[in-house]
Amino acid sequence: MRIIVIAHNGYPFRNNEHAVLIATGITHHIVLLKD
């Protein structure tokens, strides 16, 4: 499993069954990618 921290402003993320988007605050999120 890969953990990616991304900025909130205009993040290029598409939610699907293989990824979980977790809010960690106002400015950043954590994306858990299931390999």
pLDDT, one tens digit per residue, over 1-35 is: 677 776 666 555 555 556 666 666 667 777 777 76
**CA-based nearest residue to 25, from 6, 10, 12:** 6
Q: For 8, which DSSP code?
A: S
Q: What span, in angstroms and rounded, lies between the C-alpha atoms of 26 and 29?
A: 8
Q: What span, in angstroms and rounded, lies between the C-alpha atoms of 9 and 11?
A: 6
Q: In the prediction, which pLDDT does 29 show?
A: 74
Alpha helices in the chain (DSSP H): none
Query: Are 33 and 1 in contact, with CB atoms under 8 Å apart?
Result: yes
